[in-house]
Structure formats: C-alpha cells, structure tokens
Chain A
Amino acid sequence: MSAVVRSDRKGGDFGWARAAWQQAGFGPVLLVLLLAVNIAVNPARFAPGAWGTLIGLAAPLIGAALASTPAILGGRGGIDISVGPLMGFINALIVLVLVQRLGIETPWIIVPAAVLIGAAVGAGNGVLATVLRIQPIVATLGTYLILIGITLTILPAPTGTVPAWLRALGGPLSILPLTAVFLAWIAIRRLPYYDHLMAVGSDDRAAYTAGIPVTLVRFLSYVITGAFAGVAALMMTALIGSADPSIGPTYTLMAISAVALGGVSLAGGRGGLLGAAIGAIDIFLLQSALTYFNLSTFVLQIAYGVVLVLAIVLTALHERLLGRAKETA
C-alpha cells in the first residue's frame, strides 16, 4: 500500500495503480486477500473453469452495487435504499405479469421493460428527493416499504419460471448485462452530465454559482440508479430462475456496504462504478469464504456489519492519505 502512495507522490509511473488507488482505495487490496483465502480453502470452487458460475452468482450483488452508486455520487445525502426492493418488484412483474400472464418471452420486450420500470421508479425517487426535497434516505425508505408491500401483494409466495435465454444469463453469460452497465457508464462519463454530477457531489453551492442545474443533475442520478437497478433485477431473475418476493430487499444493505467498501464517498463526488464493483466482489468473496466454514447466516450478518464499519473507516483513512499525498505533491 505504502508503495502505491509513494508512486502517487512521484506522480510518474504506475499510472493505473495510482488510478485504482485513487478511485477504489482499500477495495482492491481486500479483493486480492479474500481471493487468496478463497482459493486456499476451496480450490475446486475457485478453479478457473468455475469462474463463469461464480460471476453468475455474484452478478446480482455487483449489479445492485453499480445501481446504488450514481445517486450517492450526487452528494448531500443522496442515496437510494430502494434498489433492493425495486429489484424484487421488477422480478415479480417480469415473471408474473410479462411471462406468466401475457406470455411474453422475447428479450426485446422484457429487457427494455425492466430498464424502463426501474427508470420510472428512479424518477419517482428523484422527484421526492430533489424536487420535493425530502431527505433522500427518508424518501427512498418510503419507496422501499411501498415496493415491498406491492411485491408481496401481487406475489405472496415464490413461483413461476423464466424463459431459457434469461436462465442462460444466470451463468457465465451474466457478464453480458454487467458489461452493458459498464458501457453505459463509460458513455455517461464522456457526456457533460458526468462532470456536472461530480461537481454537484463535490460542492453543490459552488455548482450552483457555476450555473449547473443542480436539481436536474441530481434527479437524473436517481433515474440512472433506477435503470441500472432494472438490469440488476434481470440478473437476479436469471440467477433464481423464478419470482421470489423475499430475495430483492436483502440486496439493499449489501449493495451499500459494497459501495462504501469500493471507495465511493457516501458524501458524494468521489468514486466510481469500478470501485463499487470491486466492493461487491469483496462482499461476495467474504460471503463465500464464511459459507465454506459452515457459519450460520447470523454470523454472516455480523460479518457484513463489521465490513461496513471497516469500509467507512478505511475510506476516511484513504481520503486523508490522498489529501496528504496531494499536499506534498
């Protein structure tokens, strides 16, 4: 770690290492550690041939973490805790309404439907949090409860099946939707919008005096979060292969832990999707190692909590180290 900091000060080589350090902080370090532990205790599960399956298992969590990031980047308490229930809601709508009731199986309808439902709910969150200016955590807690309620009303118990193409996305092919999200984000990064979002997250008063439409920028961050949650819902549907009202909501807290672990500042304006993805993989690996030791799910919960606290402490430490490196530069 200290070597990376030193190269940061010299500002010469190790450009990629520096970029990874600046964006993700301790996430990649933990990734390497956890990967080593997992390979050591469970070589069969982590053999190169099995990686496709592993990605499929991790994909919904990675997707949920990616989805949670844009709203957080917008700053001033921006957060969307309804991402998990939204995934469950879209899962129920796709399997129950589109596939079972209407008999629609083509991806050309199901994929846009998932993304559009996600974006619409995200827009609703955006209106509550940015136009009506309800504190984002309270506004999206409302959405969280509403979505869980609706999902349980239309789908009291797990049921249904999914089309073959969607089931296939639950394995190695889950790399496709993940890549799609990353490509969308790379495109967004090349738009003026991205600079505006980071500026708003960095300091909204300065953004306002610079003539940036602060409310619109934040509103759109919730829409993007919702659309990405739609993709995450597809990956979750692919993995479980049915409609299940209880699984979606569990993703919210794990996703936020992943985002924090990935070096995305919960104060906004710092971090990116790559860090969030690395954080999600960290959590997945932790889960996988603990499950191997046959620990109960209660212990898993404790581990998530510890990781979240640790992540926030490490992120603060990381920011301080970065600040110091910059002052001496």
Chain B
Amino acid sequence: MADAEPRLSARGIALKAGAEPFDLDVGAGEIVGLAGLDGHGQERFIEVLAGLHAPAAGSVVSRRDGADHAVTSLRRAIAGGVAYLPRDRRATGIFPTMSIVDNFAIATVGQDRRFGLISRRERRRRYDYYRERLSIVAQQPRNAITTLSGGNQQKVLLARALAHKPDVLLLNDPTRGVDIATRQTLYAVFRELAAEGVGLVILSTEIEEMLLLCRRIVVFREQQVASTVTGDDLAAERIISIMFGRAQ
C-alpha cells in the first residue's frame, strides 16, 4: 500500500498540553481518513499537518526528492510538497472580487511567468488543463468566481491546490455543500491522484464518504487519537461508537 518511505510523517503530536502524543505516516498513493465529532481535534490536526498551527508537542516532516522538510508554516508545507484545501470555502477559500481563472492561479502565480512577466495566455493554458481534468463547468473563465455553483467553486479551489503539484494533499471536508454529481467527480479525482502516487488525507463529516475512499481511518476523541481503524473493522457503526467513546 505505502512506500517504504512515508511522504508525510507526524511524530509525537499532542494537540493540547497533557494529551497523549501520537504518530501518523502518510505513504505515497495512500488515502487516510480523519474522523471525529466536531471539535475533537481532527480539524486541529489537519491544520497542524498543513503548517497553519503549531502543535503543543511533536513535529511534522514532509519528504520530497529524498530531502526532509520540517512543516512549521503553510509556506514551508507548500515548499515540502504539501497542499491544503481549506474547509470554509466562503471565508478562507475564494476571493469573491476576482475571476475564476485568477482564483485558480493565485497561489501559483509564479508559474505564469514568461521572461519574468505574467502571461495571461500561460495562466489560461494552466487553467484549461485543470478545468478538463476536474470537469469544471464554467463558460467564461473571466467571470467572477461567485457566478459558479458551490461544487464548481470547490473544484476551482481543488485545482488551485493541485497546481502546486503536491506529493501530499490535505482535504478539509472537501465535499461540504457540494452536490451529488460533483461528489462523484471529486471521488474519482481523489482515486486518480492516489493511483498517481499522491498521498491524501481527508477530513470528512460523512463517514460513508470516508469508508468509500479510505483504507485507514484515524478516529479522534477529546484531542487525541482514540483508535485507528483498518481492514475488516472499517464499518460505520464501529467508527461511530469510537467517536462517542463507547469502543476503542
């Protein structure tokens, strides 16, 4: 399933002082799920992996081209090949005053440079690649991002993250407020990415969704890992009972 070398390693992570520390490795081509009741630490943890928060204890290291990169900030995470898709699309995702194509390109504008200057054509070419790949339904890439449906906005944000060409993709509730058809497209894309060797970490409020995608689900309870569920144990009832503290 995973390479000998994990792509992203969390070592001795404690989300708050006094919590029991835990480790997590994400291998190439692996899809790891993070579950838990809201506010029980899984969201905090994915933000730690992304470099947005420092943990109370422990460290996160990503491995790219045989070199170790300590993840201490979002920018370091990106440099180390880790991309993050934020949860709250409206508050921390889209730029409502900007166009679709600019919303896509904003995190990677450096790639649009030709002889040091921004090339609109190059940006359009990059956008078209991801539009095709994620089947984004948008007539005019110059239109404002707010003209798109929630699902298509999410695809643009996913394209923004993929434009980093990450080794590890962190998805914070990627299908929230997204219609069924778009969900199926996103699932297919996630599986494709895994098949290409990208390691994925998915936090979702829907257990069914994670059961569909993941072979390993880490369940959080009270700011620490209650259990890691794999193989035959992967069933909704089992995960729910761990979430509520009724099983280990």
Name A's B-contacting residues (CB within 8 A): 11, 187, 189-192, 194-196, 198-199, 202-203, 205-213, 269-270, 326-327, 329
Contacts and interface: CB of A to CB of B under 8 A. Distances in A.
A214 to B, nearest CB: 11
B110 interface: yes
A196 B147 CA distance: 22
Nearest to A325: B144
Contact of B144 (A189, A199, A326): A326
Given A192-B109, A211-B75, A203 B95 contact: yes
Contact of A206 (B52, B92, B112, B117): B92
Contacts of B113: 192
Contacts of B75: 211, 213
A187 to B, nearest CB: 8
Contacts of B147: 326-327, 329
A327 B148 CA distance: 10
Contact of B92 (A192, A205, A327): A205
Nearest to A319: B97
Nearest to B79: A211
B117 A209 contact: no
Given A190-B117, A192-B113, A326-B147, A198 B98 contact: yes
A213 B74 CA distance: 10
Chain B interface size, as a band, is: 20 to 34
Interface in B66-83: 74-75, 78
B119 to A, nearest CB: 9
Interface in B96-116: 96-98, 102, 105-107, 109-110, 112-113, 116
A211 B97 CA distance: 18
B123 to A, nearest CB: 9
Contacts of B84: 209
B160 interface: yes
A199 B106 contact: yes
6 contacts: A189-B118, A191-B117, A195-B102, A199-B102, A207-B106, A211-B75
B135 interface: no
Interface of B: 52, 74-75, 78, 84, 86, 91-98, 102, 105-107, 109-110, 112-113, 116-118, 140, 143-144, 146-147, 160
B144 A209 contact: no
B107 A211 contact: yes
A329 to B, nearest CB: 6
Nearest to B112: A192
A199 B95 contact: yes
Contacts of A210: 106-107, 160
A11 B139 CA distance: 12
B146 A326 contact: yes
Contacts of A206: 86, 91-95
A208 B95 contact: no
Given A205-B92, A206-B93, A209-B52, A326 B143 contact: yes
Nearest to B47: A209
Contacts of A207: 95, 106
A211 B85 CA distance: 11
A269 B146 CA distance: 15
A228 to B, nearest CB: 20
Nearest to B139: A329
Nearest to A206: B92
Given A270-B97, A326-B144, 15 more contacts: A187-B117, A190-B118, A191-B117, A191-B118, A192-B109, A195-B106, A195-B109, A202-B98, A203-B95, A206-B93, A209-B52, A210-B160, A211-B78, A212-B106, A269-B97
A329 B106 contact: no
Given A326-B143, A326-B147, A329-B143, A208 B97 contact: no
A207 B112 CA distance: 18
B96 A202 contact: yes
